[in-house]
Structure 1
């Protein structure tokens, strides 16, 4: 397979490019674009200009040699949490959905736009330059306020989880709830506006006849480049009172409860990767780093390893999915407890979204801070890690802090 990368003469931003491509696809009856934005494959953004994303599993591509940093194309898609839910529950969207593209637009970290392809696929440079430099009609959306469950429902679930921890059934579980509302208009416009305003590190947009996934995730689930693999679990949260706020960042790092959450999940991720990595290769190069995300501070750690020589992407996912940061420890008991305490399936929320490229490898986010849109409805999942020290009211407030920037975005105008 031949991989090609050509530089385009355009100053268009990735968010504007998404809107241009979405308008172009609508006008011609083509599938909509897909986009990854933030920090993906060492780049600022990767866009599939038109992508048929269909329900079903991914076909794992064989790796090919390519220049460093080049993506070329591959499978964009997601794995919902429901695809691994032991209760068998399902949300409104398909359990998995993927789409193959033989060409992408990639914005490098410096902002240069490249048209990349596998085996010469895709349009010419001049055609794509002309399209990107055109002026689309600005799309918009309307949405009703998100309806929340009764706070007492979430508090009761937290209390039950704490009792299970006190009984010695597990150490930690991630307990979540879902906010729902109405939505009309352009999911692509919602994503483009959110990327510009929230600046998320691991944002992703996918859309099809089945609905849309609009993710503003700050969290990396897996990055596999060659045989090197990386996971960056987030656990531990306090609200962030604007760009100048540093007080809660200090308090978060000093919080016994939040530090314990993160250390337990970091150890779980080490164990998951240890099942498929070479003996002695799994390390923790970064532990308990405080990082900003929209509306909150998070504690983040990084776990790395070297995959065994014959380990496939499918085997890597089988060992690690669902992400440890959104399940708990031990993972299997946490998943069973989640199914007992949460009243409905999670859908795509707390699954994983990203790209598998034969040229660049695999990168997937953790599908948090993620809207799911289908049939005129929009859903937002929120939750947090529960330990023996958890306070039910504080856990409910953490849900509200995480949701607040996304609720504000939904109520705004492009």
Structure 2
């Protein structure tokens, strides 16, 4: 497979490029762009200028060695939690959707934009430079306030989960609720605004005739480069007020409940990766790191390993999906309990979104802090890990803390 990477003479920002490309695609009846923003394959932003993302299974494609740091193109898409829901419930969006892009725009850490392609795909450099320099009218959106479920429903689900833990059925489970509302306008504009104001580490935007996924996730599910794989599960949360340390970062690290959440899920991820990695290669190079995210502090840990030679990306996903941080331990019992406690299906929420590149590898986020848009309806899932020490009211307040920055963004309120 031939891979090319050519720098462009442009100073356009990724968010501006998304707006231009979305307008260009819409005005010409082309499929919309897809975008990854934050930290993907070592780059702050990757955009497929136009990609047909259609319902379908995770793609199976051979891997090739490419130049370091180059992406070239690949499959953009998502896997919804619906794929693993034992109750068979489904959301309003397809359970899985993917689209092939034979060229992408990739921004380097220094701000240079590269036009990259696979096997000669994509336009000439001059044509892309001209397109990125073209004007695009500002786009916007309107949305009503999100409707929340009854707090008592979430508290009751937490209580039932705690009882199951006390009975020895499992150690931890994630209990979630769904906020819903109406939406009109440009999902791409919502994504661009959120990237600017929230600066999420693992943001992703996908759209098609089926709807849109607008994700501001802070969490890495899987990164596979060559045979090396890593996962960085998030578990443990306290509210964050303002950009400076408000004391809750240190409090979070000392919280026995939050530390226990993280350690249990880190062990689960170790076990998941151990099913497909070389014996003795699974390690935890980072444990219980406190990191900021929009509106909250999180604890995260990193698990790494080296895949066995015959393991494909599909095999890796079969061993690890859905992410442990949004299910529980043991995972199978947690999936069954979630299906019995949550009042509706999760949809894309707590699934995974990202890019499978034949030359750069695979990177997927955990689909949290994620809007799902279908027609004039929008949904936002929120939730948290439940242990034996969980307080039902505190767990509901954690949901509100996680949702608050996204609710403000949706309402157009300055962050």
TM-score, with normalisation over the residues of structure 1?
0.99
Structure 1 SS opposite 2:44:
strand
Task: Report the CA distance between 1:244 and its aligned residue.
Answer: 1.0
CA distance in 2, matches of 1:320, 1:287: 19
Q: Distance in 2 between matches of 1:210 and 1:295?
A: 30
User: Does the 8 Å contact 2:372/2:379 carry over to 1?
Assistant: yes
1:282 Cα offset (Å): 0.1
Partner of 2:151: 151
Structure 2 residue 99 is the aligned partner of structure 1 residue 99 = yes
Query: Are residue 79 (structure 1) and residue 79 (structure 2) matched?
Result: yes
Whether the aligned pair in 1 keeps the contact of 2:5 and 2:115 (CA below 8 Å) is yes
1:183 matched residue in structure 2:
183
Contact map agreement 1:141 1:413 (CA 8 A) in 2: no
Residue 363 of structure 1 aligns with which residue? 363
Alignment check: 8 A CA contact 2:73 2:102 kept: yes
Q: Distance in 1 between matches of 2:249 and 2:293?
A: 11
Give the deviation of 1:184 after TM superposition. 0.1
Q: Once the two structures are superposed, what CA deviation does each residue of 1:116-174 show, in whole Å capped at 9, x if it has no partner?
A: 00001000100000111112001000000000000000000000000000000000000
Task: Tell me the SS of whatever aligns to 1:404.
Answer: helix
Partners of 1:15 and 1:413 in 2: CA distance: 19
* Structure 1 residue 413: Cα displacement: 6.7
Q: Which runs of 4+ in 1 moved over 4 A?
A: none
Equivalent residue for 1:219?
219
Q: Distance in 2 between matches of 1:290 and 1:85?
A: 31
Alignment of 1:193-212 (within 5 A): 193-212=193-212
- Show the counterpart of 2:314: 314
Query: 2:90 aligns to what SS in structure 1?
Result: coil
1:13 equivalent to 2:13? Answer: yes
Deviation of the 1:111 alpha carbon: 1.1
Provide the C-alpha distance between the structure 2 equivalents of 1:258 and 1:236, rounded to a whole number of angstroms.
Answer: 4
Q: Check the 8 A contact 2:296/2:402 in 1, yes or no.
A: yes
CA contact (8 A) 1:140 1:413 kept: no
TM-score (norm 2): 0.99
- Deviation per CA, 1:214-267: give whole Å up to 9, x if none: 000000000000000000000000000110134000000000000000000000
The CA deviation at 1:109 is 1.4
* Uncovered stretches (5+) of structure 1, i.e. residues with no partner: none
Q: What SS does structure 2 have at the residue aligned with 1:289?
A: strand
Query: Counterpart in 2 of 1:118?
Result: 118
Q: Which is further off, 226-235 or 52-61?
A: 52-61
* Number of matched pairs: 414
CA contact (8 A) 1:36 1:202 kept: yes
Query: Match of 1:111, SS?
Result: coil
Would the aligned equivalents of 2:217 and 2:368 in 1 still touch at CA under 8 Å?
A: yes
CA contact (8 A) 1:287 1:301 kept: yes
1:65 counterpart SS class = coil
* 5+ long unaligned stretches in structure 2: none
d(CA) in 2 for partners of 1:59, 1:158: 37
Structure 2 equivalent of residue 260 of structure 1 = 260
